[in-house]
Amino acid sequence: MAISEEVRQRFAGEFEKFQKGIEGFFAKEIAPKDFKGIGGGFGSYAERGFESAMLRLRFMGSRILPYQMKFLVDSVKKYNLKYVHFTTGQCIQFHQLQGEQILELYKDCFEHDIYNRGTGGDNLRNVTASPLHGVHPEEPFAVTPYLQAASEYAVSLIGTLALPRKYKIGFSVVDNEGHANFKDLGFLAKENGTFDVYAGGGMGGGSAFGVLVAENVDPKETLHHVEGMMHLYHELGEFNNRGAARSRFIAQRLGEEEFRKAYYEYLEKSKAAHDLTLSIEPYTVNKVGTTTPTTALAKPQKQKGLYYIQYKPLVGTPPMDVFVKLFDYVGGLEETEIRICGDESVYIVNLTGEEADAVAAIIADTHAKNKFEHTVSCVGATICQIGFQDSSGLVKVIKEAVEGAGLSTDRLPQLHVSGCLSSCGTHQVGSLGLHGFTKLVDSKPQPAFKVFINGNGELEGPRMSDEVGVVTVEDIPHFFIDLVKALEVAGQDFDTWKDQQPEAFQAVISKYL
């Protein structure tokens, strides 16, 4: 879980810039828009109202190891942290912080191999992955060492080359939780022990799935692909118009065939410049389990006698007392890891049956009970300064409205809710998605959400969602009550009903458009 001492010293030498930015912002001497350009590169952004800020924590390969879990528990107590969020970028964010808390926590993270440098701004962001790499029974091959190497290498490149915008990398295994096909660069593990590589994908304005640029790639060449794509992005990307500065616009501008050619050229340049071929140690788990869990939440790993559990708190924000209990307990176990997932859940891996039952007891009251409670949502506009609407608050309102009407959310799908077009809730790939908007009602602007359907972020049949229309925040609870009633009458879940009776969905929502 280490980066070189040279890189550590470079990051340490940059801390003074961050410190001055934090101190200037909280002293009202640096404007919020100017602080964004400073703090973002260190994983810190001002929050709505500009009286507090957040800090985003990166974990190599999205893996939190026991010593880091214990550190996080100690930090909650030491800094009186109140609000924690698991992000779709597979980081942890602490919110509602003051300047001194941020600076001290940042330094403490650095000493525990948690590098927040580059988790925001125009940098190589956190490398994401399917959370069950190395442990899934159906994993084609163990991608963990390559993921780990790519994560460490990406961190080492931060600040070495100017990029038009952020550069996101993902690894997918059995599922697509690493979002390999809609990242700037994505690696998909194959049964033959190689990767298929996608490039030029991403969410936001001009959302697009990546172009398949290389097939049957030797995993040992992973770093050449990371570096080659970075130089392609640097040299062909748009620096003058931020709205068109992501790598997907390069692919759209060049067309698939020319983009593949360019990708290959920069890959070959990397190989000619130096040798980044990986020599890796395999991922191993020495722990042996001899007990069988009683909880249905526990699923078997490929390691005999060991299990994993997924924990999904509503909108990815666990109560702090549950966060502390979970991380404190798991951090005291042998060879356990907590993996952050792109759906704002965490997976606890390498558990014995007895340990799995203990974990299940800790999370029992706050773990998602159905697809709807697995909804993906950004933190929303009550905290985020650029959010249009309160996305996470809306999810809670929908739940309360439906259950308050004596109905169940069991037939609803997993929603994907973004507070704005930034797409942190990945609404483009949701079966039912929403993003914050404003709707004119009697010539007066009203808080609202655009509604989308039929998105699919899976590897099979991927498609961007279709916009249906705009519904005001006031009407959304009523729409969902009507939707659940229609599902109850049909006796079907949302996805089955929507696919079989698309006109029925349109009939329900049309009265609110």
> CA angle, corner 114, sides to 139 and 351, nearest 5?
40
| Measured distance CA(267)–CA(231) in Å, rounded | 9
Angle at alpha carbon of residue 124, lines to 7 and 95, rounded to 5°: 95
Residue 61: closest CA among 137, 12, 114: 114
Residues of the chain above pLDDT 90, percent: 93
Determine contact, residues 398/477, Cβ cutoff 8 Å.
Answer: yes
Compute and round to an integer the Cα radius of gyration of the chain.
22
**Taking the domains of the chain in order of start, what are their residue ranges?**
5-110, 136-273, 299-363, 372-510
What average pLDDT is seen over the chain?
Answer: 96
Percent of the chain with pLDDT strictly greater than 70: 100
The 10 Å Cβ neighbour count of residue 365 is 8
Q: Which residue has the tokens 């490398």?
A: 127
Which fold, 372-510?
Answer: Sulfite Reductase Hemoprotein; domain 1 (3.30.413)
Beta carbons within 8 Å of 460's beta carbon, 6+ residues apart: none
pTM for the model stands at 0.96
- Average pLDDT in the 319-330 region? 98
Cα three-residue angle 167-169-174, rounded to 5 degrees? 160
Q: What is the CATH number of domain 299-363?
A: 3.30.1370
Q: CATH topology of 136-273 equal to that of 372-510?
A: yes
Q: What is the pLDDT of residues 330-355, one digit of tens each?
A: 999 999 999 999 999 999 999 999 99
436-468: b (≥16 Cβ within 10 Å) or e: bbebeeeeeeebbbbbbbbbbbeeeebebbeeb
Helix residue ranges per DSSP H, 374-445: 391-404
| Beta carbons of 170 and 127 less than 8 angstroms apart | yes
Whole-number pLDDT of residue 363? 98
Q: What is the pLDDT of residue 1?
A: 55
pLDDT digits (tens, 9 = 90+) for 384-401: 888 889 999 999 999 999
- Buried b / exposed e over 294-333, threshold 16 CB at 10 Å, is ebebbbbbebeebbbbbbbbbbbbbeeebbbbbbbbbbeb
The H-assigned helical ranges of 111-246 are 144-157, 222-236
Supply the pLDDT for residue 71. Answer: 98
Do residues 237 and 266 touch, judged by C-beta distance below 8 A?
no
Query: How confident is the model over 281-301, as pLDDT tens digits?
Result: 999 999 999 999 999 999 999
Q: Is the confidence at residue 147, as pLDDT, over 60?
A: yes
Q: Place 198 in a pLDDT band, splitting at 50, 70 and 90.
A: very high
What burial class does residue 428 get, using C-beta atoms within 10 Å of its C-beta: 0-12 exposed, 13-18 middle, 19+ buried?
buried
Burial of 35 (0-12, 13-18, 19+ CB in 10 A): buried
Residue 166 gets the label, from left (phi > 0), alpha (psi -120 to 50) or beta, of beta
Q: Give the mean pLDDT of 89-96.
A: 97
Per-residue model confidence as pLDDT tens digits over 5-40: 999 999 999 999 999 999 999 999 999 999 999 999
Measured CA to CA, the distance from residue 50 to residue 262 in angstroms comes to 43
Burial group, residue 508, by CB count within 10 angstroms (0-12, 13-18, 19+): middle
Q: Distance (Å, rounded) from C-alpha 306 to C-alpha 350?
A: 5
Place of tokens 């930015």: 21
Q: What's the pLDDT band for 503 if we cut at 50, 70, 90?
A: very high
Tell me: the pLDDT tens digits for 39-87? 999 999 999 999 999 999 999 998 999 999 999 999 999 999 999 999 9
- Do 494 and 431 contact (CB within 8 A), yes or no? yes
Contact 97, 383 (CB under 8 A): no
Q: What length does the chain have?
A: 513
Q: Does domain 136-273 have CATH number 3.40.50.11720?
A: no
Q: Is the pLDDT of residue 210 over 80?
A: yes
Asked if residue 457 has pLDDT above 90, the reply is no
